[in-house]
Chain A
Amino acid sequence: MQLTDVIGILVETVVLGSIYGLVAIGMTLIYGTLRILDMSQGSMVMIGSFVGWGVMVVAGWSPGLAIAIAFLITFALGTFTELVSVQPLMGRRGFDFEMVTFITTFAVAIVFANLALQIFGPFQKNVSPVVSGGIDIYQGVDLSYQNLTMALVSIGLMAALGLFLTRTRWGLAIRAVAQDLDAARLMGVPVMKLYPLTMGLASALAGIGGVFLGAKFFAYPGAGDLPLLEALIVVIFGGLGSLPGTLYAAYAIGLIQATAEVVVGTTWSLPILYGIILLVLIVRPHGLRGRPEEARL
């Protein structure tokens, strides 16, 4: 392996890891507070990519506006998803809540993907790069401004989320609910308002991720499938519900995938990822930073 390969891998790791982090951190946030695995996150990425296409290509407006509009639309849709697929199931008994919400959010994802198929058709839509141009870092290793912006905005958004969770009233409330639902309720946290907010916020992050991914690849109805799968791998690898774990995992997965792409080619990168996940879960059953759900006997 040449030095250029190594630098190329590192650049790709930062770019991929940041995007994975942005999409996956929403899933972790949702799992931490609501104890559900939100399968509609992938469709938010897809919707974000279409918003990016609509705003930047069709309407010809600026990328900043595309991000803002994607944020609003996916926030609204995420809230809506929570209200129709999770809220009605809260507090009812006689079924496995995690399994059933897994199915309902998946149903929402099926509906979104097929509505997009009806409205926009199955063809991939090219989206102009959010920013054009790039710099040559080292002997032919390119870093496009597109990728750089993507990484920087993702990292900025994750930092903003961190500040929101540690500094604001609503953020503290979300963390309180994640730590101890009953105690948070007793302290007067309006839990039923917090859940839609959490899911809206997570969906909005995925939506912004979608704007970037749409510009990097294409906008099409299946644009959310692979990011969903990758985000799932990241959150479980990192340990469900652990935000730092998710961040480490996002970059670790980015590194694995970037290395696999260079060493063995793109086709093998996903199966190799799955193979590594198999091994990691056998050795560390709760991911990198997850906690055991119960004391083992």
Chain B
Amino acid sequence: MSATTTAETAVPLASTRIGRGRTMSVAEKAGVVALVALAALIPLVWSNDYAIGVIVTAMITLVLNTSWNFVLGIAGVWNFGQLAIYALGGYGTGLLMLHTPLPPPLAILGGGALAAAVSVLLAFPTLRLHGIYTSLLTFSFAQVFLFIVVNDPAGLTGGSFGFPTVKGLYSFLSPTAALHAYFWTILAVAVAATLLVAWIRSSRLGIALRTIRDSPAYAAARGISPLKYRVIAFAISGFIAGIAGGLYLSYNQSFTTSAMGLTPMSIDVTMLVIGGLGTIWGPVLGTGVLTGLQVSLVDYPGIQLTILGTILLVIVVFVPSGLVGLLSQIRRRISAWVAEDEIEDDVGVERGGS
């Protein structure tokens, strides 16, 4: 048993060739802009505060998932400690809001900076590890952090009772106006985070990270430093996750330990895998689909998780590369089919003409 071969473990992550990737056409860019504009209109036309609240929470999760996708999918580091980084952003923001006169937006940036700093520290030990070992190390880190918060000796975080209530970003607005303001703020942050990760993915940094992920030997031969790029990746990912944590704290006016742990982690990772790891649209689709599922199953509390687990199993078994992979497959089929059709049409025209 001990002399296990290792060839099978090094299955390439994706058959995709690394490059700058397909650039979007003008029509597609216009479509995305229209989609964001439509999303921004939601609070104006839909006066259901519950639904708006669900979307706001989902968008905060989307920001977190985007940061996680960057380090897990694009950089290929099995980081399962991201929720601790997220929580650090939340608690850091909360402490700055409570104990300093900083304006709330700066407090959130400060939380993001703290999260980025700790994330960088976490990057160093992962350099020597591979795959599943990285996940245990990072998960251990998250568990130790969770434990420290729950048994908080200094009384800074409020332990398992939750962080003391803070005012948040929009305490000067009426509840509905504040909800709308949060909606637009967080939508803007989610769009910015997605654009940032999309831009990095096709930049030199992104190509270097994907090369280290898919072919460490080639990356080393080309002089790509894993240390440098991984530290940068963890810093960016940690910063975005910290901002997400700060927004969560600000929106909920508190932060509790229930945002960490195994259950939220499994839900977030599920969103990433269902959407498509390492893709730009993956977190968006995965977060949307899973939030929709959770909301539609709210009326069946007993069997909700059973159904969710079954759906997860079925989706992942049938489309292991995620919904983005499925959609691009369908698009390729359609364009192949259209191309075939065009050839037939051409032949038909020639025949008609003769």
Does any Cβ of A come within 8 Å of B313's Cβ? Answer: yes
Interfacial chain B residues near A243, Cβ < 8 Å: 1-2
- Determine if B305 is an interface residue (Cβ-Cβ < 8 Å): yes
The 10 closest A-B pairs by CB, nearest first: A110-B309, A107-B313, A111-B309, A274-B140, A95-B320, A271-B147, A114-B306, A107-B312, A285-B128, A114-B305
Flag if A282 contacts B128 (CB, 8 Å).
yes
Residues of B within 8 A of A267 (CB): 151
Interface residues of A (CB under 8 A from B): 28-29, 32, 35, 37, 84-85, 88-89, 92-100, 103-104, 106-111, 113-115, 117-118, 165, 175, 178-181, 225, 232-233, 236, 240-245, 267, 270-271, 274-275, 277-278, 281-282, 285-287, 289-294, 297
By DSSP majority rule, is chain B's interface helix, strand, loop, or mixed? helix
| Chain B residues positioned under 8 Å from A232 (CB to CB) | 136
Q: By the criterion CB–CB under 8 Å, are B316 and A35 in contact?
A: no
Q: Is the CB of B317 within 8 A of A104?
A: yes
Partner of B147, one of A178, A270, A285, A287: A270
Quick check: is B69 within 8 A (CB to CB) of the other chain? Answer: no
Point out the residues of chain A lying under 8 angstroms from B24, CB to CB: none
Q: CA separation between A225 and B8, bound complex, in Å?
A: 29
Task: Give me the interface of B with A, judged by CB distance under 8 Å.
Answer: 1-6, 8-11, 13-15, 78, 125, 128-133, 136-137, 140-141, 143-144, 147-148, 151, 216-217, 220, 262, 266, 269-270, 273, 277, 302-303, 305-306, 308-310, 312-313, 316-317, 320-322, 325
Q: How far is the CA of A199 from the CA of B20 in the complex (A)?
A: 41
Q: Which of B4, B131, B262, B312 contacts A291 (CB 8 A)?
A: B4
Roughly how many angstroms separate A274 CA and B306 CA in the complex, as a whole number? Answer: 30
Determine the chain A residues whose CB is within 8 A of the CB of B317 once the complex forms.
84-85, 88-89, 104
Interface contact B15-A94, CB-CB below 8 Å: yes
Q: Indicate whether A94 sits within 8 Å of B8 (C-beta atoms), given known contacts A107-B310, A175-B1, A179-B3.
A: no
In the complex, how many residue pairs between chain A and chain B have their CB atoms under 8 Å apart? Answer: 170
Cβ 8 A contact of A278, one of B1, B6, B125, B308: B125
A99 and B273 in contact (CB under 8 A), knowing A178-B1, A274-B144, A293-B10? yes
Assembled-state Cα–Cα distance A240/B130 (Å)? 12
* Neighbouring A residues of B129 by C-beta, 8 Å: 281, 285
Distance of A29 from chain B, by nearest CB (Å): 8
- Supply 8 further A-B pairs (C-beta < 8 A) apart from A32-B4, A89-B320, A294-B10: A95-B322, A104-B312, A240-B133, A243-B2, A274-B140, A277-B136, A294-B130, A297-B216
B269 touching A103, Cβ below 8 Å: yes
